Each structure stands twice: as structure tokens, then as C-alpha cells.
Amino acid sequence: MIKNITDIDLMSVSALHEDYYGRKILSYYISYGTKYDFCRFFEVTSEENIAYIVQFNAVMIISSKAPLESDELMTFILMNKPFRVEAPWIVLENLCNIPGYKMLKRTKFEFTDHRPANFDERKLITDPSLDEIYDILHEGFPTLAEHGLWITEHSHKIRRGLSRIYLYNHCTTATVIYDVDDHVLIGQVATKSEARGKGYARDLLYWIGHTLNLQGKKVSLFALDYRESFYEEIGFKPVSVENVIQAE
């Protein structure tokens, strides 16, 4: 049974601290709590398992240690119509044929401790204009959230200390999507088209990984098929292959 929850302390749920999906749910819980219609939390109960779901705007994240009842979950997804659903394969394997969605493969990379050889910290901005960041990202990510939604999400998470955005040389950006339990997820890496091929993204990622590793944090990111070779070529370590489903 899937039910909306508003009166549970998700930080006390030990299973949510164990993997990416749980920590992603916790990042939204820490940022927004349970009071907003655009960020809703759900508990999925069965005789042998308790799972958790968050839907934040057009993204749905599912954390579960066991398969879920597929008909109920499929109905739930079709009713809420998220653009993307992220969940462990043990859940997604029963959703391969959900109408209107396609399965995408992505690789999880862990940062290795490269010291950036040519990084100029004078060109690094750690509190950039979000409008400037959005303009860079929008060029490379056509499915990026609408400007107002994106600004609201990231400004809120930055204020809560869960997210940081870096801007290098006013042309390359990368975002800490979350920092939970000393696990850091990096995403939204992009460079202006006229500055690509100069190594700025590589140098910024090396700096982020090295800096956060020194703080005792474990740093990772996800890459879809067409970006895998870039991260392999600059020395990041592929550690797992996962899937998401996304609206066609």
C-alpha cells in the first residue's frame, strides 16, 4: 500500500542512509520537510518490506530493499506522471514496459584523488549568480527544469547547506546535488559551447574531488551513455551500472 506521509522523521530511518536513493530522499526531506505540495513523501508497505518514495516536481525517487507490487506502483507512476523515475533495479525491472516511458542506462563513477595541475583558484567562484549558472546549463541540458523551479530548488538547498554550485572561469559549472552523511553527489556539469575542449570541466572536477576527499567525503556522479567516455578518459572510476526510466 502506498500512502502519503507527513508525520514521520525520515532521518531516523536507517535504510535511507545506506545508498544513493535513500540519501537523495533525505536531501529533499532536509531541504523541504513535508509541508510542500511540490515535494511529497510516501511510504510503501507490504508484509515483508517498507519502502519510501519522494516526488519532487517532475522527479520521483524510490528507495527499497525488495521488489514492490508492480501493478500498484505502475498505477502510482502513471497517476503522478513524473518525467524521470530513479529506483534500484530490483524495483525498475518490473517497470520495463510502463506506457510512455523508456529505460536509460547510466554509470556511477567515483572520483579518484587527482590533483588539478593547471587549476587557477582565482577563477573559481563558489557563490555564483544562479542566473548565470542556469544560462550555462540550459545550453547543454534541454530537459532542464523551468528557470523559476530550478532557481527555487537550488537556492533552497544551498541555504540548508546541502548543495553548492561552482563556477570556473565564467564558463564551466558543476553542482553538489547533495552532501549527506559525507557522501557527495556531483551533477549538472556543463561548459559554454565556445569554451569546450579546453579542459575546464576536467580541472574543475579534479579540484572538487580532491578538495572534498581531503574533507573525508566520498564523491561520485552519474553519467548517461553518451557521457561515460568523458569521465573514463579523465580518470574517474566506474563502480556500477544502473537504470532510470524517463518519459518519452
- pLDDT, position 117: 82
- Three-class DSSP category at 120: coil
- pLDDT, position 118: 82
Check if the beta carbon of residue 243 is closer than 8 Å to that of residue 89.
yes
* pLDDT of residue 140 exceeding 90: no
- pLDDT, position 180: 95
Q: How confident is the model at residue 235 (pLDDT cuts 50, 70, 90)?
A: confident
- pLDDT, position 234: 85
Q: What is the mean pLDDT of the segment spanning 110-121?
A: 86
Question: Any idea what DSSP says for residue 67?
Answer: -
- Tens digits of residue pLDDT in 72-110: 999 999 999 999 999 999 999 999 889 999 999 999 999
Question: Any idea what DSSP says for residue 57?
Answer: T
- Tens digits of residue pLDDT in 16-75: 999 999 999 999 999 999 989 999 999 999 888 999 999 998 999 999 999 999 999 999
Q: What is the mean pLDDT of the segment spanning 163-190?
A: 96
User: All 3 cell numbers of residue 87?
Assistant: 529506483
